[in-house]
Structure 1
Amino acid sequence: MLRFLVIAAVLVMASCSYYYVNTDNERLGIARQQYEQLPRPPEFSKIKNITARKKAFFKYMRKGVTAENTRVSKERDFLLALKEKYQTDSVTPRDLVNAKLLGELYNVKLAKNALTKDWLTQMLLRVDVLPEALVLTQAANESAWGTSRFARQANNYFGQWCYSKGCGLVPRDRADGMTHEVAKFSSVSESIHRYFMNVNRNRAYKALRQIRAQLRTKGESVTTTFAAIQLVKGLNKYSERGEEYVQDIQAMIDHNQEYWLE
């Protein structure tokens, strides 16, 4: 399960983003959005019937995905309101403080603490929801439907890496000279949050964000199964398998159509 080095670089800011979710949303004028901590996951490996395991996995993970999309939606609403204020020259000092906080979280700093059209454009590219079909499918693929060692022992359902000794679990097949570990999270909810932040701000997935923006420009939904299949095209750097990985995820999304709520 090798990954491009750039994929895990975002984990350096992970503790910052976790703190933000619990506190700074209130400062942004957004309803406080704490993690809806998921309960301990079922022992998926003990569910022998494949259909039953799929249903249990998607049911369990869906609540966490919905919570993250709710958080991102509130942040995006703040940005859209801020854009209107910018266009009418009615941005307040408090708006700038809040914009700076959100910008730092998404790695888009305000130049000279001044709001600009370019900053708003870049932020709206990053601060947006993800289709549940995409998130749930990657979680199923990366965690072997919740049965992998990393899911069971590290709450890591998306294969995220880290690079500080002891930050996670050492892969048994790690090549000589490699130092990465598979990140360990405090909860499944945190794993889902880290995945969202990774996809929404890591430069490796710029193509995904552009595809999502193009769908919005066309007036199309970004949460449908169709959108999920399109967005996967921007994940060719998620795995060293590249295009083969993209095709596998697309096939899984299509194969599991009956489970997606739109």
Structure 2
Amino acid sequence: MHKRETSKIVLIAIAIMAVVVIIAWMTSTTEPDILDVPESEQAEKPVPNFKAIEDATEKKEAFFAYLKPEVEKQNNYLLSLRHYLQTLQRRLNAGNHLTEEDNERLIWLAEEYRVDEDIPAERQISDLLNKVDILPLELVLMQAANESAWGTSRFAQDGYNFYGLWCYQKGCGFVPSRRNSGASHEVAKFPNLSIATYTYMRNINRHSAYRELRHIRASLRRAQLPVTGLALAEGLMSYSERGAAYVNELQSMIRYNQELITE
């Protein structure tokens, strides 16, 4: 083959590769698929038999190894939603309009996080940015440990409910053995760990009972300070009937287990 023909073939190949790259770039998107609950690789893995682990440190390590990937997955999802909302905010501030797809996503987010859909999009986004944000790993893990007795409760073992979440439709979960007379709530049962963790985080991020937690988090964001579990625990006074004692216990657990959590 002549050198000129070889060069021509190489140029054609390069041109084809360039077209493929351009098409891939045009059809790709960095925006999150916000209509799907993200699921980790271990979403449906059976809950380990934590009761069978007698050594306390070994049990904690197994507990963290099971839950950490899921919590990190959900926090990354929240950060991607937050980035998306900030992108919409910048677009509106620049005088541009939202696309039809953006408006549909905004409607979904407003419904998901209980933001008034009748207010202007700028205010919806501002309100959503106060709600769509991470929950520190150490706070989630210590709440899960506290609510599930380090993963040994039947609600965690049989229903992926590490967070003490309730539901109110008959048959939606487990009937607690110590439920007060006249009460109708059940302890929620979930099909996998991802949906359980997503539901827990959404509950903290949208329920009016945890407005103070969101206020603390937003204040830390404005001051460009770390969003820590110790700080946000102060906003969980309503999570338990024990109130301040519950918050103090969570904070003590965070301090005591911090080294193991960050390993």
Q: Structures share a fold, TM > 0.5?
A: yes
Does residue 109 of the first structure (1) align with residue 119 of the second (2)?
A: no
SS in 1 for 2:121: coil
Give ranges in structure 1 of 5+ residues lacking alignment. 1-25
Q: TM-score, normalised by structure 1?
A: 0.83
The whole-number CA distance in structure 1 between the counterparts of 2:91 and 2:48 is 47
Cα drift, residue 141 of structure 1:
0.5
Tell me whether 1:89 sits opposite 2:105 in the alignment.
no
Q: Does 1:207 align with 2:212?
A: yes
Could you tell me how far 1:110 is from its partner in structure 2? Answer: 2.8
Deviations 1:111-168 (A, max 9, x none): 26x412x322211110001100000000011000000111112211000011111111
Residue in 1 that maps onto 2:254: 253
Alignment partners' CA distance in 2, 1:141 and 1:188:
17
After superposition, give the CA deviation of every residue in 1:168-193 in whole Å (9 maximum; x if it has no partner). Answer: 11111111111111011111222111
Q: Which has the higher contact order (CA 8 A, sep 6+)?
A: 1
Task: Calculate the TM-score normalised by the size of structure 2.
Answer: 0.83
| Structure 2 equivalent of residue 7 of structure 1 | none
Q: Corresponding residue for 1:35? A: 39
Give yes or no for contact 2:110–2:117 (8 Å, CA) kept in 1: yes
Aligned partner of 1:3 in structure 2 is none
Distance, in Å, in 2 between the alignment partners of 1:92 and 1:163 is 37
Kindly state the Cα deviation for residue 47 of structure 1 after the two structures are TM-superposed.
Answer: 0.4
Contact 1:139 1:158 in 2 (8 A): yes
Name 2:150's counterpart in structure 1: 145
| Farther off after superposition, 28-37 or 42-51 | 28-37
Partner of 1:229: 230
Deviations 1:52-96 (A, max 9, x none): 000000011001101101111110000111110111111223322
Distance in structure 1 (CA, Å) of the matches to 2:203 and 2:256: 26
**Percent identity of equivalent pairs:** 40
Q: 2:88, 2:98 within 8 Å by CA — same for their partners in 1?
A: no
Equivalents in 2 of 1:191, 1:29: separation in Å? 24
Structure 2 regions of 5+ residues with no counterpart? 1-27
Q: Deviations over 1:186-243 (max 9, x none)?
A: 1122211111110011111000000000000111122xxxx11010000000001111
Q: Please give the root-mean-square deviation of Cα atoms over the aligned residues, in Å.
A: 1.9
Tell me the distance in 1 between the aligned counterparts of 2:114 and 2:223. Answer: 27
Report the alpha carbon displacement of residue 260 of structure 1 after superposing the two structures with TM: 2.9
Decide whether the 8 Å contact of 1:143 with 1:151 is kept in 2: yes
* 1:169 and 2:174 are equivalent in the alignment: yes
In the alignment, what sits opposite 1:240?
241
Distance (Å, rounded) in 2 between the aligned partners of 1:68 and 1:53: 23
- Aligned positions, number: 231
Describe how 1:173-188 pairs up with structure 2 within 5 A. 173-188=178-193
Alignment of 1:71 with 2:77, yes or no, is: yes
- 1:16-75 deviation line (CA, Å, top 9, x unaligned): xxxxxxxxxx99931576311422121100000000000000011001101101111110
Distance 1:62 1:74, change over 3 A: same
Q: 1:77 to 1:206 in 2, by over 3 A?
A: same
Question: Does 1:57 pair with 2:44?
Answer: no
1:131-142 to structure 2, matched below 5 A, reads 131-142=136-147
- For 1:246 and 1:138, the matched residues in 2 are separated by 10
The list of structure 1 runs, each at least 4 consecutive aligned residues, that deviate by more than 4 angstroms after superposition, is: none
